[in-house]
Amino acid sequence: MVRDWTYLIRVIAEEDGRIHLGQIDTTKFRDVGHCIFEEERVGAHAIFASISDGAVTRQSLHVD
């Protein structure tokens, strides 16, 4: 199985309060931990399926 993501995070989304897997845009968010610490709004694209064979979608999520 081939995965489609390169930088995976586990997210509690602002949009629905649920846990999701997400792909971070590393050109915008070089250090996610630092961004969260600085209270920046961090966005991610939802990953459909599982860690081993997940596909990145266009659905945007924001870290709560």
Q: Is residue 64 part of a domain?
A: no
Whole-angstrom distance, CA of residue 16 vs CA of residue 62 = 10
Domain span holding position 37: 8-46
Q: Is residue 59 part of a domain?
A: no
Q: Is 38 left (phi over 0), alpha (psi -120 to 50) or beta?
A: alpha
Q: Is residue 62 part of a domain?
A: no
Q: Is residue 39 part of a domain?
A: yes
Q: Is residue 40 part of a domain?
A: yes
Q: Which amino acid is at 33?
A: G
Q: Is residue 22 part of a domain?
A: yes
> What total of structural domains would you count in the chain?
1
Q: Is residue 63 part of a domain?
A: no
Tens-of-pLDDT digits for all 64 residues of the chain? Answer: 578 889 999 999 999 999 999 999 988 999 999 999 999 999 999 999 888 888 999 999 999 9
Cβ-Cβ contacts under 8 Å for 24 (sequence gap 6 or more): 7, 9, 32, 42, 44
Q: Which amino acid is at 9?
A: I
Beta strand 43-48 pairing with 8-12: unpaired
State the pTM of this model: 0.84
